[in-house]
Structures are given as C-alpha cells and as structure tokens.
Amino acid sequence: MLLRIEGLLSADKLAEARALLARAPWVDGRVTAGHQSAQVKDNLQIPEGCAEHRALGDLVLGALERNPLFISAVLPQRVFPPLFNRYEGGMAFGAHVDNAIRQITGTASRIRTDVSCTLFLSEPESYEGGELLIEHSYGAERVKLPAGDAVIYPATSLHRVAPVTSGARLASFFWVQSMVRDAGQRALLFDLDMAINRARADLPSGHASPTELTAVYHNLLRRWADA
C-alpha cells in the first residue's frame, strides 16, 4: 500500500524541525547504507546520536504517535529511529530495495522493515528534481510532497530518489515493523477500519453495524497480529 499522510508535521513542528536542521552537522549518507545501496547512494545525513538528531527524532516520533491514519495503515509494533537526509548539487539515490532487517545503532535490537516512510521537510518549489520514485505493478509512482507531508510504502518496493539539480531536498526517512507482517492483511484491515469510520459518520447514533464491524476488525487483528 502506498499512502500519503497529509500534515504529519504541523506548521509549528515543521518550523521547529527546520531550526534543528539548520544547525545540524552533516556527513556522507553512505554511513547507513548496506553494501548494495552504498554503490548508488549519494547524499548527506545527520549523524546518529548527535543532539539535533535526537531532538528531530523525538519530534517525528511524537507526530507519528498522534496520527490516527499512520497508526491505522501501518499498525506499528516498532519504529526505527528516524534518520534525516539532504540532497543537493546533483545528488541522487539509485534504484534499491531497503534491507529486510536493520539493527538499531548502539543497541542489540533489530527490526524487520515491513513499511518504509519518507517525511518531506522542504517545500517542493524550493528544489528541482528529487522525486521519490516507487516501483509497483502499474509502473513508477513519482512522489514529491509539501513539507510536513509523508508517504508510506512497502519496504519491499524498488525505489529511488531522482537527482536534485538545484536547491536542497531535506527529508526524514525510517522503517516500521508492523504487528501484521503480511501486506495484504494490513491493507484489508486498513480498508475495514476506514469503512467503520465512514459507517459511524453516516449511520444514526447507536446503530449496530459499526459495533459489529469493529468486532470483525478486532477478531481479524487478533488472528493476524504478533503483538
């Protein structure tokens, strides 16, 4: 499932993020790339563990926890601490697939990368190029969103970042291990959750259908989830 999450960061939180980005140090982005990805990756990243990285990560994680659309679509069990990158001067990231398992830096903990997420932090008119291109069965989806918006997509997808030919593209990226491993099951649960919300809005208060559908949702989640 490929899904846009509008306004993941509010205007206030986006301003706070930009202030942190402006004073953060930047290093070669290949420090977090696997062997294959490192051959096609050309960008900058904020080093993990610095004060700005920790503050930015907390800001993004707080926004995720408050966003019901993200929770419904992803059903997160664990979120990899968000990373932050910068593309400028022709930098790009060639076609690649994200590593299936990622170790959280400085710990023995690992997560399975079921879902990838990119949170855009630069306004699209401030840079040329830099589209996120995600391959799926109907071709390549080109994604270039307003600052504060995010896109979630299967971590199994072949994807790339087009060269940034002017300006600078700043973003956060991270992965999620879902309680429901199977992408098809997650998509069904998401569709059912959205249908329940519409039924609650459209039907008279006290109507039995939303409650009955909610029971189906939770019984499916109970069957499929690894909590």
For residue 159, say whether it is annotated as part of any ligand binding site.
Answer: yes
Spatial separation of the C-alpha atoms in residues 185 and 70, rounded to whole Å: 16
Q: pLDDT digit string (tens) for 8-60?
A: 999 999 999 999 999 999 999 887 766 667 789 999 999 999 999 999 999 99
For residue 136, say whether it is annotated as part of any ligand binding site.
Answer: no
For residue 98, say whether it is annotated as part of any ligand binding site.
Answer: yes
Q: What is the pTM of this model?
A: 0.94
DSSP single-letter state for residue 107? S
Positive or negative, the Cα torsion across 137, 86, 27, 61? negative
Q: pLDDT digit string (tens) for 194-219?
A: 999 999 999 999 899 999 999 999 99
- Structure token pair of residue 165: 């030919």
For residue 202, say whether it is annotated as part of any ligand binding site.
Answer: no
